[in-house]
Amino acid sequence: MVPVDRFVCETSFRVRYAETDNMGVVHHAVYLVWFEEGRSAFIRERGWSYAEIEKSGYFLAASELTAKYSRAARYDQAIRVKTWLQSDRSRTLTFNCEIVDARSDKLLFEASLTLICLNARGAVTRIPASWRSWLDS
């Protein structure tokens, strides 16, 4: 369920033909790509970007993913990706998302992804204090 006590980024678009099978149904892996776009948009709206994270010498690697598919999305359907930061710990960030039909708001997909912070050598490290500006704002 989308929280009411924190920032939620919303990204909207229509399902593209290349994302579907020959019946016009979206392939299951595409929902994760949309979630990634939602996370990127979330960080951009907070004043940063994944590119800036990497330029600063850090990386976010997926460590845990849960996903639930409720309804199929179809070609040319208007959808909305709702993304929020569920938690931030000393070394991890957990993002949640809901993907809904843009017209009816019916749930299509929901997921939670925990990312772990790595330094340039690939070692697990604490999330830099400088990230507080976009994590807490």
Q: What is the mean pLDDT of the chain?
A: 95
SS3 content of the chain, % helix, strand, coil (to 5): 25, 40, 35
Please provide residue 57's backbone torsions phi and psi, each rounded to the nearest 5 degrees.
Answer: 95, 15
> pTM for the full model?
0.94
Identity at 121, one-letter amino acid code: R
Task: Give per-residue pLDDT as tens, 79-130.
Answer: 999 999 999 999 999 999 999 999 999 999 999 999 999 999 999 999 999 8
Neighbouring residues of 107: CB distance < 8 A, sequence distance ≥ 6: 70, 71, 98, 99, 100
User: For residues 96 and 76, what is the distance between their CA atoms, to the nearest angstrom?
Assistant: 24
- Residue 68 confidence (pLDDT): 98
